Amino acid sequence: MQDISSILLDLFIIFASAKIAAELFERLRQSAVIGELLVGILIGPYALGLIGSPSAALVQLFQGTETARLALDMVHTTLAELGVIFLLFLTGLETRASDIFRVGGRAAAVALLGVAFPFVMGFLLISLIGRPAVEAVFVATAMVATSVGITARVLRDLGVLASREARIILGAAVIDDILGIMVLTVAQGLGGSGALSLWGLVVLVVQILAFTLFLLLVGTRLIRRYSAHFEYLRMPNSTFVVAVALCLGLAALAGYIGLAAIIGAFLAGMVLAEAKERHRIERHAMGVYEFLVPFFFVITGSMVDWRLFLQPEVLALAGGVIVLAILGKLAGGSLGGLGLAPRTALILGVGMVPRGEVGFIVASLGASIGAIPSDMFSVVIIMSIVTTLVVPPVLKLLFAGHPDTGKTTQGAESDQDDS
């Protein structure tokens, strides 16, 4: 074992600054996620450099600053990855397969069109400026997935969770999330191989579907039938322990068969959502969530080289991606809401605009396999930030005077909802 007191200081700085930023942004009525990300940029190596610099002892141990920095980066990445795994695990735990199967065609239409429009628009834009296809696919993928956590949080804050619009948006967001994760896995498969082989694509899609359907159809049944048995184990908190083992195991398995690890974690959550004990699992997972998730956002933020935005062409690119990301969801949502009142259709579109953490996840995955260069990484991050920042005030405006406003308790403190 090595002396890691310098790493501990790093971790404290990340955690504390994440939470201070989250608190500030909550008070400014903005998303805490945005605050954590921005503080990551601030304390990262491209700005203040408070984190990520190896200590003298580490440099000596690894016989070189660069290798020591790489090792420290690996520690950060592992914690960030565990954070995002628990984020998706908890999201899955709040997503019941039956809720998905029950949502009507309306939600499915909003989701499918809301995925198709931004993807095609994003792919065309990035291809037209002469970037490689893999890069275009990754940026388009990042433009696809609505962040179900952010959407739900905004609707809750507005007190309109009981409205018809909110139900359609939430149902669509769930389908959208699964579609987004599938698109992401395909993108990752393409990025990994580097070639757009049709056969590889088919195998990958079949793999995703087999893995997903097996877990959703067989896994959920097994859990419904046997989850009570976890309680018979002698170890304390046995249900939570089995849940965490399932989460880590499916994440590792997903990674092993070429899927994204977070798919495994999400599906583990969805399978366990069928257990009678899911609230107990959620309660314990919440502690891990609060502890680990900030590492993902701050460390992702710390990778953003803000100086790139001083270059006019990067700024122009970011502007284009942002406009298309917003227009794509507006078009998808409005078309999916065809036949409803215009305001309702518009609400559906706007409600799907925030990309939040899903955009960051795609960006960091793309960067990790070299599919997204650093300028495009920063573009995707800024797109995720801006789409998340613009939505709350616009939704508030659209819901002004809406008959359902205030039907749900506004701002009720809950142990469970926090993303």
Of residues 213-272, those binding a copy of itself (CB under 8 A): 233-238, 240-242, 244-245, 248-249, 251-252, 255-256, 261
Q: Please count the residues of this chain forming the interface with a copy of itself, following the rule CB under 8 A.
A: 72
The separation between CA 398 and the C-alpha centre of its own chain, rounded to angstroms, equals: 26
Extract the tokens encoding 231: 């309680």
Provide CB contacts within 8 A for 261, sequence distance 6+.
81, 85, 251, 252, 254, 255
Smallest separation (angstroms) from a copy of itself to the CB of 125: 25
Residues of this chain, 300-329, that bind a copy of itself according to CB under 8 A: 300, 303
Smallest separation (angstroms) from a copy of itself to the CB of 256: 7
Extract the tokens encoding 269: 């959550």
Smallest separation (angstroms) from a copy of itself to the CB of 365: 8
Question: Which amino acid is it at 65?
Answer: T
Extract the tokens encoding 45: 């190596």
Burial track 247-260 (b if 16+ CB lie within 10 A, e otherwise):
bbebbebbeeebbb
Extract the tokens encoding 247: 């989460």
Closer CB to a copy of itself, residue 268 or residue 346?
268
Burial group, residue 407, by CB count within 10 angstroms (0-12, 13-18, 19+) = middle
Smallest separation (angstroms) from a copy of itself to the CB of 73: 7
Closer CB to a copy of itself, residue 165 or residue 277?
277
Sign of the alpha-carbon dihedral angle for 171, 385, 308, 316: positive
Smallest separation (angstroms) from a copy of itself to the CB of 319: 26
Smallest separation (angstroms) from a copy of itself to the CB of 91: 15
Closer CB to a copy of itself, residue 305 or residue 418?
418
Closer CB to a copy of itself, residue 127 or residue 193?
193
Closer CB to a copy of itself, residue 117 or residue 138?
138
Q: What is the largest CA-CA distance in the chain?
A: 68
Closer CB to a copy of itself, residue 86 or residue 399?
86
The separation between CA 190 and the C-alpha centre of its own chain, rounded to angstroms, equals: 20
Smallest separation (angstroms) from a copy of itself to the CB of 227: 16
Closer CB to a copy of itself, residue 312 or residue 414?
414
Closer CB to a copy of itself, residue 139 or residue 299?
299
> Is residue 412 near a copy of itself by the rule CB under 8 A?
no
Between CA 322 and CA 324 the distance in angstroms is: 5
The separation between CA 313 and the C-alpha centre of its own chain, rounded to angstroms, equals: 27
Smallest separation (angstroms) from a copy of itself to the CB of 42: 18
Between CA 205 and CA 200 the distance in angstroms is: 9
Residues of this chain, 345-364, that bind a copy of itself according to CB under 8 A: 364
Extract the tokens encoding 124: 């065309």
Match 């322990």 to its residue by tokens. Answer: 241
> Nearest to residue 386, comparing CAs of 348, 365, 360?
360
Residues of this chain, 35-94, that bind a copy of itself according to CB under 8 A: 61-62, 67, 70-75, 77-82, 85
> Is residue 194 near a copy of itself by the rule CB under 8 A?
no
Match 């502690």 to its residue by tokens. Answer: 287
x-or-dash string of contact with a copy of itself, 117-156, rule CB under 8 A: ----------------------------------------
Q: Which stretch binds a copy of itself (CB under 8 A): 141-149, 213-221, 365-373, 391-399?
A: 365-373
x-or-dash string of contact with a copy of itself, 269-298, rule CB under 8 A: --------------xxxxxx-xx-------
Burial track 148-174 (b if 16+ CB lie within 10 A, e otherwise):
bbbbbbbbbebbbbebebbbbbbbbbb
Closer CB to a copy of itself, residue 55 or residue 405?
55
Q: Which stretch binds a copy of itself (CB under 8 A): 25-33, 124-132, 178-186, 202-210?
A: 25-33
Among 12, 213, 224, 316, binds a copy of itself (CB under 8 A): 12
H helices of 276-409, in order, are 278-302, 312-336, 342-351, 356-368, 374-399
> Is residue 3 near a copy of itself by the rule CB under 8 A?
yes
> Nearest to residue 85, comparing CAs of 239, 279, 296, 277?
296
